[in-house]
Amino acid sequence: MPHRPDPAPAPPPEIGALHERVLRFYAEQARDLPWRTPGVSPWGVLVSEIMLQQTPVLRVLPRWREWMERWPTPGDLAAAPPGDAVRHWDRLGYPRRALRLHAAAVAIVEQHGGEVPADHAALLALPGIGVYTAAAVAVFAFGQRHAVVDTNVRRVLARAVTGDAEPAPALTRAESRLAEEVLPDDRPTAARWSIAVMELGALVCTARSPRCDACPIADLCRWTRRGRPASTGPARRGQAWAGTDRQVRGRLLAVLREAPGPVTPDILQAAWTTDPVQRERCLDSLVADGLVEPLEDGTFTLPRTR
């Protein structure tokens, strides 16, 4: 049977009011975050977007400030060993992001004269930069008109426009088209809308406890008008942590980050004694991911070269 493309939901008739309310909400209640400060560099925006992936703002704030003080430009980071990026990523989680950011810094230096490119296609071509991050940097750093679609945006549009309690488990083409359709035509307004609707999802239209009584678009929201029906999709399970490979990898990396030099196998063995097979599997995966470098003398260290 031929594949039928997902139908795009029609934008709400109150689109002008939706824009006005959400933009006013942002003007009055937006969080004061350093990467939103006027004059912040495109590099600062790029660093924030990588750090904020699957990580709460409160955890990112001190690490972003420390990172920008240590490496205020792509050239500063590119000149450092990739292991330094992993070390100072500390406990933000998903440490491969540190290596991707280091690789992007190197590419920016080698291909763009050390300046983060404004061109969307050039951003997307940087190593480790996906569709969302390229759009976010183009919009938030350079004021361009692109749909920036993260989990918060998807949830707001699912509720306000399509009337669903939650978006689909993964981004659909219909959602992407809808996000494009509701963008204001004016570039500066579109850029501000992109961050405003994201902020609404982060502060008010939250996943577990939406504050509909405080929502500036509650009377326009189709989900609210329908009586806030429960999601009909599969139940979403929280990610387990205790005993997982993620926990083991985190333990091993913590030992390497805190060590002044290469670490012997017995020290790594002591970091996780519950399951030696799991520990070795996780160590192998860290080496395969480029997060750990095995040395000829049998010791291990954070990566020293790119």
Task: Supply the CATH number for residue 276's domain.
Answer: 1.10.10
Average pLDDT over residues 245-253: 91
Average pLDDT over residues 240-256: 89
Q: How many CB atoms lie within 10 A of CB 223?
A: 23
Note whether residue 37 is domain-resident: no
Per-residue pLDDT for 221 more than 70?
yes
How confident is residue 1, by pLDDT bands cut at 50, 70 and 90?
A: very low
Note whether residue 212 is domain-resident: no
Q: How many domains does the chain have?
A: 2
Last residue of a domain, one of 140, 169, 187: 140
* Domain housing 269: 245-301
Query: Length of the chain in residues, anyone?
Result: 306
**Which pLDDT value is given to residue 230?**
87
Residue 250 phi/psi, 5-degree rounding, is -65, -40
Q: Which residue has the higher pLDDT, 24 or 92?
A: 24
First and final C-alpha spacing in the chain: 47
Tell me: the pLDDT tens digits for 13-48?
588 999 999 999 999 999 999 999 999 999 999 999
How confident is residue 243, by pLDDT bands cut at 50, 70 and 90?
A: confident
Catalytic residues: 49
Average pLDDT over residues 104-126: 97
Q: Which residue has the higher pLDDT, 93 or 34?
A: 34
Note whether residue 239 is domain-resident: no
Tell me: the pLDDT tens digits for 143-172?
999 999 999 999 999 999 999 999 998 999
CATH number at residue 103: 1.10.340.30
Note whether residue 226 is domain-resident: no
Last residue of a domain, one of 115, 140, 165: 140
Place of tokens 């002591």: 270
The answer to whether the beta carbons of residues 303 and 82 sit under 8 Å apart is yes
Longest dimension (CA), the chain: 68
Last residue of a domain, one of 140, 172, 191: 140
